[in-house]
Amino acid sequence: MSAKDIELTGVKEIARRANVSIGTVDRVIHDRKGVSQNTKDKVNAIIKELDYQPNILARRLASKKQVVFAVLIPKISEETNYWEAPLLGIDQAGAEISPYGITLQKYLYDVNDKNSFLEQIKRIDLSLIQGVLLAPSFIEESEHFVKKLEIRKIPYVFINSDIQGHDSLSYFGPDLYQSGYLSAHLMKYLLKKQDEILVVNISQEIDNQHHLLRKEQGFRNYFADKKLENTILKIDIKQTDYTYISNSLEKVLKNHNIAAIFVTNSRVSTVAKYLAMTGDQRRILIGFDYTEENLSFLKKGDIDFLICQKPREQGYKGLMALYQFVVHSKSGEKNNFMPIDIITSENCDFYLN
């Protein structure tokens, strides 16, 4: 394309066709105030006709202005590698937007320790950042943090779980309630009327882990809505080491005729390990997330179904939404629910997490 061709599809040509100044075109492109709606509509129609794409890269390099995003999510632990997937998505998006002057600062906390979460928050200098990508594992602490962001008018995006009633830019993750509801629907086909069900929550901070409780609520409500009479028992396990979990399971399974187990997070592999080691693999087992540990037990038949919701895509799309808003002034949907995928031993090798 010649220099003349480029010129005819640039800002000057848009201004000429719309019979407005170049400054007016620039204000429309960047959605600034001071332009009438009729003029906006005329300029935008010409932009669409010419398929004009502003050279954001050149402008940002010329301005030498850096934009800093803080990423606050759990770190990978010895118990589960679930958070590796969102981090890969975040790194992919970060690599794509880094040429536009975007810098990421990562603050990784222990998902089992709210004090670790608070320590990472303290490390974030709010005067230096322009946006936050947040996985709000702890309700009260997360609410306190986002209120600070809202006071400073710093946009933030939730991934993996959301907190309703706050002014987040967007949420990318599962519909937690529907995830539990679907799990119950799936389990219904495998149960008899008299079978007992066990719901297992495994977390050191269960009272603060709202995403587990919302899955449980969805699971229970399915049985209530369908007027199914299966007894649903529950056990909250507040230590995450295998010995404690196995002892807790032994106590409840010894005293009840449990036909099916629903684990509300990625630690379903620990329950599968217990059942395999005790030779008690007759029970239906459903849990969450496409992790290395879970896949191993799924392929061996110790886990019947995994519910997965594309965590890598959550990280990627969450960061890109923040970038689009801060750099391009573009807002997307408030709630962006990931598909609820049912993974089995037969299709797990073809699934893109």
Instruction: Indicate if 176-308 has the same CATH topology as 62-172+311-337.
Output: yes
- Domain locations in the chain as residue ranges: 3-54, 62-172+311-337, 176-308
Dmax over Cα atoms in the chain, in whole Å? 83
- Residue 258 CA neighbour count, 13 Å, CB half: 25
What's the CA gap between 322 and 219, in Å, rounded? 32
CATH code for the structural domain at 62-172+311-337: 3.40.50.2300
Q: Who wins on pLDDT, 55 or 241?
A: 241
Looking at the predicted structure, is the pLDDT value of residue 8 above 80? Answer: no
Has this prediction a pTM greater than 0.85?
no
182-217 per-position pLDDT tens digit = 999 999 999 998 899 999 999 877 655 677 889 999
What number does CATH give the domain 176-308?
A: 3.40.50.2300
Predicted confidence (pLDDT) at residue 6 exceeds the cutoff of 70: no
Binning pLDDT at 50, 70 and 90, where does residue 16 land?
confident
What is the number of other CB atoms lying within 10 angstroms of the CB of residue 310?
Answer: 23
Q: Check whether 26 has a pLDDT greater than 90.
A: no
CB atoms < 10 A from the CB of 133, how many? 28
**pLDDT 10s digits, 62-80:** 555 689 999 999 998 877 7
- Structure confidence by residue, pLDDT tens digits, 120-159: 999 999 999 999 999 998 888 999 999 999 999 999 999 9
- Is residue 312 predicted with pLDDT exceeding 70? yes
Superfamily of chain region 3-54: lambda repressor-like DNA-binding domains (1.10.260.40)
Element (H, E) at 287: strand 284-288
* CA atoms within 13 A of residue 268's CA, in its CB half-sphere: 33
pLDDT band at 33 (very low <50, low <70, confident <90, very high): confident
